[in-house]
Amino acid sequence: MANHPSAVKRYRQNQQRRLVNQMNRQKLKTQIKKLRAAIGTGKTADAKTLLPGTFSIIDRSVQKGVIKKNTARRYKSRLTKRVNGLPA
């Protein structure tokens, strides 16, 4: 454990930031799983309604530093291709 007051404070801040990052990462993963499940079952209507929400969470994840910009672009591109490839 840290000895200096500033190091103790830094430790507390790091713990709080870690929890926030974990929650943000989990939201992103859960939303992508939901969309992939809808795509996997062939539910076109569900997939198309989930797509904008998923994009929103992906974009927010980039702003919060959870994922990088190119990773977000890759996710969005691949998910869009899969949703557009579903039969109407």
Q: Domain count for the chain, please give it.
A: 1
Cα–Cα distance measured from residue 72 to residue 22, given in angstroms and rounded to the nearest whole number: 17
Higher-scoring residue by pLDDT: 79, 1: 79
**Pick from 50, 6, 48: nearest CA to 30:** 50
pLDDT higher than threshold 80 for residue 88: no
CATH code where residue 31 lies: 1.20.58.110
- Kindly indicate the confidence band of residue 2, based on its pLDDT and cuts at 50, 70 and 90: confident
Q: In this structure, what are the phi and psi dihedrals at residue 30, rounded to the nearest 5 degrees?
A: -65, -45
Residues 48 and 83: beta-carbon distance below 8 Å: yes
pLDDT higher than threshold 90 for residue 79: yes
Cα–Cα distance measured from residue 9 to residue 3, given in angstroms and rounded to the nearest whole number: 10
Instruction: Determine the structural domain holding residue 67 and report its residue range.
Output: 5-84
Per-residue pLDDT, 1: 67
Dihedral (Cα; 13, 69, 79, 54), 10-degree rounding = 40
Structure confidence by residue, pLDDT tens digits, 21-61: 999 999 999 999 999 999 999 899 999 999 999 999 999 99
